Structure 1
């Protein structure tokens, strides 16, 4: 049952996404996870609390998130099993966990702003999809940031939730989204987050282990290249997973990605991924979006093929 649900959810999300008017009225399901993390973090992650205790409380936060996400998924599946429209219920509950259209419509404005030489607008647009400092990025830096986010979010926003939907149904999809949300909020190495966010970061590494490598393979097929860059540079990334889709995209577009980056005013010297051009442009973002769209199509074919074989 998960395979046709996955295919229909992909199609529905690609068609309508999560409209702005709907977000304005009810928010998004992952916002609930974010609020739960914030509710736990405020009293449990005080700097005066011993680091060991904060780590244990961070583990408890992840456990609570998983309990809520898996419990909600199981409850919806139970309702669907006793409904005449159960299949539709599952599709409607699954499609918000995917982000094909959302990612595309957030990256495209960055290219549009760069194409009209509006660097300020490009910085603003890319600031919606990256966590780094954007105020001092030059045009190539903005373009690289957008392409890196596109590659990494292909895994986090589409491949991984789809993978866990196919493996573990609706509870698997929303458990993944809960963990990924927690990692984005607290899974950082800065002193404030290091202990409390440890469990979120390590769990996110685990659940993305297979999806990240699958994402890289799909991007290489979609981009007709990138294999050598994966084997040479994927391991250079600080994350055990993010370097895979990023290296695949760098190779497919013949670019250099990553490199020195600033977060919260602090410059981090990161190695370059890829051996192509560092001077990325709006045209490179458009080429990246084309690779991304073809990779999404491959996912549709995979989901459809699995459904047909079953």
Structure 2
């Protein structure tokens, strides 16, 4: 059964995260995905090519990435099973560990809250710029807090719930195929003209892979807060993504704050819809509340995984 593997991987991540000394020596597995995707993008996404050609090239890139990742992970999983027998689940948990980012996410958001609570908006902008893609130079306290909470909410799905879901559903291949897809979406799954055709397959694959995990993420946030249901259901579709709106709207409702709204990317103003419309502007203490709620949601996820194992046994 894969549930003990998932629980062990989550526990290792909670205890260790992905230590800097390991990152400095070997990097992170998603870095390998990024290099392959960037190489394919440079070679096949030539603007001089017809859009249809780039569309098919993007599909071929994603198919190759998924098949190669799945085959490699399956071969490793089978080799571990043969070599370690009953203890194989421990080794597989270690191999799954880098795919879960629960502690890393907390450690990236916490400095934003600390700096903002200390009144150091400059340091808070630097910290939040590490986790969001929007322009941060002119963000006020509400904008900084909103960006941090949105990133925490969305990444709860991408970095914790979805990897664990696909680990339970498909073992080591399921987890690493998801990470490959999610990495591709973050690099090329954009609507801008350069990536629209080539990144179409990456974006649609990520939408499909997060379909269930995103809704589960929203559910866990609302359960952890014992509120937020109405706002989640009302505003989940106000996000441009078919999935990201679920955990984001759940967090907005749970905290009673307004998220999303107008934002600037690369100097261009985007008039995004508000999620949690009617809620008050977010402040530093709301980041702290969001982090506590995030930890409760992670605990509920672990309980849900353990309960699934118990029901199957």
Query: Which TM-score band (shorter chain)?
Result: over 0.9
Q: CA deviation at 1:75?
A: 1.4
Counterpart in the other structure of 2:238: 236
**Offset, 1:279:** 2.2
1:103 and 1:150 in contact (8 A); partners too: yes
Which stretch has the larger CA shift, 69-78 or 107-116? 69-78
Question: Residues 186-205 of structure 1 correspond to what in structure 2 (within 5 A)?
Answer: 186-205=188-207
1:152 to 147, 151, 154: 154
Show the counterpart of 1:109: 111
CA contact (8 A) 2:190 2:199 kept: yes
Task: Please list every run of at least 4 consecutive aligned residues from structure 1 whose deviation after the TM superposition is greater than 6 angstroms.
Answer: none
What is the Cα-based RMSD across aligned positions, in Å? 0.9
- 1:42 maps onto 2:37 in alignment: no
**Preserved CA contact (<8 Å) 1:256 1:278:** yes
8 Å CA contact 2:256–2:280 kept in 1: the answer is no
3-state secondary structure, aligned to 2:264: strand
Partner of 1:94: 96
Alignment of 1:1-310 (within 5 A): 1-84=1-84, 85-310=87-312
Q: Which runs of 5+ in 2 are unaligned?
A: none
Q: Is the 8 A contact 1:79 1:86 kept in 2?
A: no
Q: For residues 51 and 263 of structure 1, what CA distance do their matches in structure 2 show?
A: 25
Q: Distance in 2 between matches of 1:267 and 1:68?
A: 39
CA distance in 1, matches of 2:81, 2:282: 50
Question: What CA deviation, in whole Å up to 9, does each residue of 1:158-177 have, x standing for no partner?
Answer: 11111111111110000000
Distance 1:215 1:199 in 2: 24
TM-score by length of 1: 0.98
Residue 276 of structure 1: how far off its partner (Å)? 4.4
Using structure 2 for the length normalisation, give the TM-score.
0.97
Q: Distance in 2 between matches of 1:275 and 1:13?
A: 35
Q: Which deviates more from structure 2 when the two are superposed, residues 98-107 or residues 71-80?
A: 71-80
Deviations 1:259-299 (A, max 9, x none): 00111111111110003444211100000001100000001
Stretch of structure 1 that moved more, 260-269 or 285-294: 260-269
**How far apart are the structure 1 equivalents of 2:122 and 2:43?**
38
Shift of 1:307: 1.6
CA contact (8 A) 2:189 2:195 kept: yes
State the aligned residue count: 310
Counterpart of 1:83 in 2: which secondary structure?
Answer: helix
Instruction: Give distance in 2, aligned partners of 1:44 and 1:268.
Output: 30
